[in-house]
């Protein structure tokens, strides 16, 4: 309970609002006759107005667009965002992020420690992991290590035992915020309070990985990405982590800002862009050793950024702003937006810019 309260207290205000709103809207099921089935145990309800619901990110599965959001909603479009279909999802918890290694194979993560998997480009999903299962795995692994250890007071062993017991006691209250897979087998999911799990078999089995990360303060891990040879994680309180050994160890590198980074984008030339609270954004050309400030002119949080084929960088903010950067992030242009609701994700489409957020989907007709 204390962990849950701490989690809510450290969340950014915008995210706290949406979590409360989403949780509150779920109480409507209590009016249905019969017992209320927890969202981990019931599928997402099919909705005719799903494109107007809260959507938290959008990505590509080959040429297909896939967006995820509240109530287990996952939708996909095969015509560049003009029309959308709802996917079959086995849970009704909020989904935060999806990642695809091919046009067919992908994963999605979200609230209550959920990890979903698809092999048909996001049309249908199966659950591979949730917070209950993750806690039991962590505790079982911690007990095994403890029983085999010669030095039972070794800090990493004690840390993992304490962490795993906390997961079991707290229940499935912690979300995974992001997911990354190198291929169809090797991947990571990351989340609140340094929660990170690794798989080597495409999600059939998972291993707790918290003690491999230089983050004993337990800061939230918000975003993960790779430049092909190194892994990067951005998180709370200015946290930036790098791995040079395929994720065996993650070590901390300093950044210019002590606030939270909600996103991380690896650009085509292996530059890394991190962004987050109060419009702060920074670029590194040497994998995290040196940083240059990107002046966004935005006061609220930057939520997503992508690089287009022509090198243009698109950013969206919680204040409903869409920014276009050119000339190595030196030239900035604000895209005209008619309705300024919080935007959470962005993708470039032939007819303009597609954004998702608290107002659902919006297609901005920009050249």
pLDDT above 80 (res 181): yes
Q: What is the pLDDT of residue 290?
A: 98
Domain-located, residue 188 = no
Burial of residue 164 (CB within 10 Å: 0-12, 13-18, 19+) is buried
Order the strands of the 176-181 sheet from edge to edge: 176-181, 187-191, 196-199, 207-208
Domain-located, residue 111 = no
pLDDT above 90 (res 195): yes
Q: What three-state secondary structure class fits 86?
A: strand
Q: What is the pLDDT of residue 34?
A: 64
Domain-located, residue 56 = no
Q: Token pair for residue 336?
A: 């005209």
Domain-located, residue 147 = yes
Domain-located, residue 158 = yes
Q: Rounded distance, CA 73 to CA 39, Å?
A: 12
Where does the pLDDT of residue 3 fall: very low under 50, low under 70, confident under 90, or very high at 90 and above?
Answer: very low
Q: Token pair for residue 2?
A: 């204390």
Q: Rounded distance, CA 298 to CA 321, Å?
A: 8
Q: Rounded distance, CA 325 to CA 336, Å?
A: 14
The predicted model gives 199-218 an average pLDDT of 98
What residue spans of the chain are helical by DSSP H?
A: 2-10, 13-25, 131-148, 155-170
Q: Which DSSP letter does residue 252 get?
A: E
User: What residue numbers bound the domain in which 150 lies?
Assistant: 131-171
Number of domains comprising the chain:
1
Domain-located, residue 140 = yes
Helices (H) and strands (E) counted in the chain, each on its own, are: 4, 27
Q: Token pair for residue 54?
A: 């809260």
Share of the chain above pLDDT 70, in %: 90
The predicted model gives 221-233 an average pLDDT of 98
Domain-located, residue 200 = no
Domain-located, residue 235 = no
């Amino acid at each position: 309970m204390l962990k849950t309260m701490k989690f809510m207290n450290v969340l950014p205000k915008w995210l706290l609002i949406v979590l409360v709103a989403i949780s509150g809207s779920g109480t409507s099921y209590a009016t249905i006759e019969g017992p209320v089935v927890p969202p981990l145990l019931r599928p997402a309800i099919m909705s005719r107005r799903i494109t107007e619901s809260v959507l938290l990110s959008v990505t590509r599965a080959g040429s297909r667009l896939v967006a995820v959001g509240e109530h287990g909603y996952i939708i996909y479009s095969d015509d560049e965002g003009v029309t959308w279909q709802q996917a079959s999802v086995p849970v009704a918890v909020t989904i935060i992020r999806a990642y695809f290694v091919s046009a067919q194979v992908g994963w999605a993560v979200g609230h209550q420690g959920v990890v979903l998997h698809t092999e048909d480009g996001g049309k249908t999903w199966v659950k591979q992991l949730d917070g209950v299962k993750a806690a039991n795995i962590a505790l079982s692994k911690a007990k095994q290590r403890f029983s085999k250890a010669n030095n039972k007071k070794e800090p990493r062993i004690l840390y993992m035992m304490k962490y795993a017991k906390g997961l079991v006691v707290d229940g499935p209250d912690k979300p995974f915020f992001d997911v990354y897979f190198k291929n169809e087998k090797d991947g990571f999911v990351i989340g609140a309070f340094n929660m990170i799990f690794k798989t080597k078999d495409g999600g059939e089995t998972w291993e707790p990985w918290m003690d491999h990360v230089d983050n004993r303060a337990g800061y939230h891990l918000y975003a993960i990405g790779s430049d092909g040879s190194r892994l990067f994680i951005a998180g709370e309180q200015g946290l930036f982590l790098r791995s040079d050994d395929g994720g065996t160890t993650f070590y901390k590198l300093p950044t210019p800002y002590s606030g939270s980074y909600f996103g991380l984008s690896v650009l085509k030339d292996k530059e890394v862009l991190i962004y987050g609270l109060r419009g702060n954004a920074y670029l590194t050309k040497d994998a995290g050793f040196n940083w240059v400030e990107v002046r966004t002119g935005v006061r609220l949080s930057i939520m997503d950024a992508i690089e287009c084929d022509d090198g243009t960088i698109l950013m969206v903010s919680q204040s409903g702003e869409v920014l276009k950067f050119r000339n190595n992030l030196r030239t900035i242009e604000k895209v005209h937006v008619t309705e300024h609701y919080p935007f959470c994700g962005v993708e470039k489409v032939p007819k303009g810019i597609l954004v998702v957020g608290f107002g659902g989907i919006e297609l901005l007709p920009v050249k």
